[in-house]
Every structure is written in C-alpha cells, then in structure tokens.
Structure 1
Amino acid sequence: MADLISALRLKHRMRIEYRRSSEEQASSLVVDPYGIVAKSGRWYLIADEQGTGRLFSLERLSAFEALDTPVVLRPDETLHSVWATLKERTESPGRLSVIAHLRKSRLDLARRILGTRIREVSCGESEWCTVVIHYPDIESVRQLLQFGNHIEVLAPAAAARERICQLAQDVVERHSAPAQ
C-alpha cells in the first residue's frame, strides 16, 4: 500500500490491472485516481474511469503504474465528494423490492448478511416473518439462495421468483450428475 500511496502523490493517471468480481482475469484500465479509503475493513482506490467514479478493491488490484499524464479529475469533485456518491450508491436500498417469507430462526443471520437491504420485517405467531428486501436489480436475488429452504420469495412473482427458480434448477442440475 505504501507504493500505491507514493504513486497517488504524483497526481498522475494510473494504469491498473484489476479483476472485477465477476471475472476470472484482470483487465488493464487507465484511471484518474482521487485517493484511497477504508470501508468495513477493506481498502478501496477511488478513481474515475472514463469520467465516471468507481471503487476498486485493493484486494483485486494486481498491479499499477503511474503514467506520465497528469490526472484529469472532474471539476468540483474531491476524494470526499466522489466517495460520498459511491458510498451512497453502494449502500442505497435499491430499485427492486422483494417480498419474502423468512423463518424467524434465520432473521438474525439475514440481518447480518443483508444489512440495510432489509427495509421491513413483520413477524406474526407462525415460524415465518415477512421481509421486504431492496436490491438494485433482479440478478441480485441470487443472494437469497443461501437461505435455502428457510426462505420463500413471494414477489415480484414474474421476476424474482422466476430468477430464483432458474438459479435453483441450475444448482440441482449441476449437483445431480457425479462430480467430474
């Protein structure tokens, strides 16, 4: 990290080798860095990539080099302002509301895993609670698969239930044949 901090002090564009979480191989990117921040025990490089603010986890940053070109930052933006925007975006409740039944015995675990994504909880006399979970998109419902038979997604039926069903069928098919 000391080498990265030294490179950031140059206030030059950087070429980074970065592996996105959904990819196996790192890609080479040219970024305009603002600085680094720590969040929840992890360090992130805050930088513009093609004029858009991005978070780059230092855990997935395999290499970097300062280029000869001075950094080009957006007017009136600072590390603090870009970080605030990115933090809001990553912590925002999302645009998709998923309604599910969750076993009461798994509510504490769900609160730890889902955090602020849980927007409402109502528990009655039965062993089930109704929870409302906010996600940025339909693909994010895959996170709920880890609750197995302790959760039932109720709505949106045409989107969330169908995606959970597709993912579960894929898991069943993958595990029905002997391991190779």
Structure 2
Amino acid sequence: MKASRLLHLLLLLQTRQRVTTTELAERLEVSRRTILRDVEALSAAGVPVYAERGRNGGIVLVDGARLNASHLDPGELEALSVSGLDDALLSRLGLGEARQAADRKIAAREAATPAARASARLSDIILVDSRPWLSGAIAEVDVAELAWALRGRRRLRIAYRRSADAEPAARVVDPYGLVAKAGRWYLVADVEAGGRLFSLERLSGYEVLDRPAELREGETLRTVWTALSARTESTGDVIVTARLRATRLDLARRVLGSRIRTVAPADEGWCMVTLGYPEIEAVRQLLQFGDHIEVLAPDAARHRLRELAQDLVERHAPRPESV
C-alpha cells in the first residue's frame, strides 16, 4: 500500500511540480505527517523531491526532473481497453482503481510534453456517461465475477427469466462475452448455434460447466453483437402513418429512434411521420404520446390502438364507491 501511495505522490508532483502537504494528504487520504515522512523516504532514496516551508511552500519536485512512471501495468491496460464504461461499471468489474492509476500516469506523461501542457486534454472537454436516464436497474448477478468466469471460455448453465415469464428456467449456453448497452448489461451467447441476448437483470444465477464453449467458427463477441443489435433495432415491414404534434417531434426522435422512416410538414402545428414496426402489436408504444398523435394507417393499427385505448378507459373508470 505504501509503494502505491508513493507512486501516486510522485505522479501528482510530476504533473504539477509543487503541491501543498494539505492537498496531498486529502488526495491520498492520509495525514500531513505521513506525507512528510513519505517525502523524507523518497529523498533518502535519491528522488529529487523536498519539502519547502513558507507561505507558498509545499512538496516540490525539482524542476526538469522526469520520472519513468508512465508505463501501464496489465490491469491498467485492461481498464483502458474498456474505456467506454463509466466509473460505476468499471468498479463493478473491479477495474475502478486500475483506471484511476492509468489516468494518473497518462496525466503525468502529458505534463512532460510542452505542447500537451499548452492545450486542454480531450478528457477535460469530453465526458462519456453511459448510464441511462432515470434508471435504477441493477443486474442480479455480480458482473465482475461473471466476467472473470467467462475468461475460461466454458459453457454456462444459466437461470433466466424471459420477460413474459414469472419464474426463471434453466438453459445451457455457449457464451461469447458481456456487452454494456446504455447502462445495462447483456450476456451474448449461442443457444443451439444461434446468437441470443440475455439481460443480466433477468439472469438470477449461473453455473460454469466442465466443457468448452462451442462457438461458431469465425464469430466473435463483436460480430455476434452487431448481428443481434441490428436484428433488435430492425424497423420491420409494418409501415404506420401518423399525424404528430410538431412540439413532440424531438421526443419522438428520442423514444422511437430508427423506427421513424420519414417526417414531413402537415397542418399548422402538426407533422406527418411514417414509422416501421415488426408487427401490429408493437404500435402500443404510441400510446405514450396520448392526444399528441393520430394514427392514420393501416386500419389494423388504428383498430389495435382503439382497443387498447378502450381498455384503458374501462380500467380507469370511476370506482363504484367513489361515484
């Protein structure tokens, strides 16, 4: 632990040259006395660092001194290889501290380059947050443990509940790996030589079997995921035409995404949209737009929405005791 702390201290100094003992103590979560002892130990080992007293004093790294501390260890490289994950997801994979260490080393390396010091880093002006809005969904299984189990490339027996079922059922799968999509985790696996997606929110347990996973030749996690996501996001062959209030067009783009085929102006305050669905039943998604939408065609879509709306009216009729 002390070696890690000393390295962190050196990286901070390489980035800024001079840091107060109070700030170092706060950053490293130790006392100011411990910081001073660490500085003494580093100085005794030949590191050009010293404590400077006075109003503008602090811990100082001799100007021009460059420390070869920018290499990344295997854990830090792995943390960077999954750089699309936010801090919460990295922590669940057990890579949170490794990522922080890698970031410190990168910052120290950049601080040694005059051109880099003269401009802002991309990480200072771009933030990637992969969490979904207003979502508290949590996978039932431990993502980090499952990820490590998948490294063995073994078959799994999983307990999985489909969205339409009340209880999970057991099934054997050949896993390719895990995908984090919009803050949710999915297991990508073959079932009888066909790719499938399993949401970890509905995966209640798993068992690693003593048999190698039988993966399709030439297929990888990336290729299978690409095919599955394209199939999931397919707009289908049912084309729905509707009038939509223009004030709800931005919301429709966020909610409906690639299901929107075309948009054209209509009456004042309205626009005409065409939507693609895999089946008529999927038009129930449009109920969330309430009186801001009117489905014009096909008749089957209008009929299904009318049935659903009538069911809602009956369910929300005044209760007898409140009449």
Is TM more than 0.5 here? Answer: yes
Residues paired across the two proteins, number: 179
The more displaced of 135-144 and 23-32 is: 23-32
The more displaced of 88-97 and 19-28 is: 19-28
Corresponding residue for 1:100? 242
- Cα shift at 1:2: 1.3
Q: Which amino acid aligns with 1:102?
A: L
Corresponding residue for 1:122? 264
- Cα shift at 1:139: 1.4
SS of structure 2 residue aligned to 1:152: strand
Name the CA distance, whole Å, in 1 between partners of 2:264 and 2:257.
16
- Cα shift at 1:125: 4.4
Corresponding residue for 2:160? 18
The Cα RMSD (Å) is: 1.8
Structure 2: runs of 5 or more not aligned: 1-142
Q: Which amino acid aligns with 1:144?
A: L
- 1:173 and 2:314 equivalent? yes
Name the CA distance, whole Å, in 1 between partners of 2:265 and 2:163.
35
Higher relative contact order (CA 8 A, sep 6+): 1
Greater strand content:
1
- Cα shift at 1:113: 0.6
Name the CA distance, whole Å, in 2 between partners of 1:166 and 1:69.
50
SS of structure 1 residue aligned to 2:226: helix
Corresponding residue for 1:110? 252
Greater helix content:
2
Q: How does 1:42-121 map to 2 (within 5 A)?
A: 42-121=184-263
Aligned-residue identity in percent: 60
Output one character per residue of 1:19-56: Cα deviation in whole Å (capped at 9) or x when no partner: 22233322222111110112222221101122221111
Name the CA distance, whole Å, in 2 between partners of 1:123 and 1:25.
48
Name the CA distance, whole Å, in 2 between partners of 1:39 and 1:50.
24
SS of structure 1 residue aligned to 2:187: strand
- Structure with bigger gyration radius: 2
Normalised TM-score (structure 1): 0.91
- 1:161 and 2:302 equivalent? yes
Name the CA distance, whole Å, in 2 between partners of 1:113 and 1:52.
29
Corresponding residue for 1:138? 280
Q: Which amino acid aligns with 2:211?
A: T
Normalised TM-score (structure 2): 0.52
Structure 1: runs of 5 or more not aligned: none
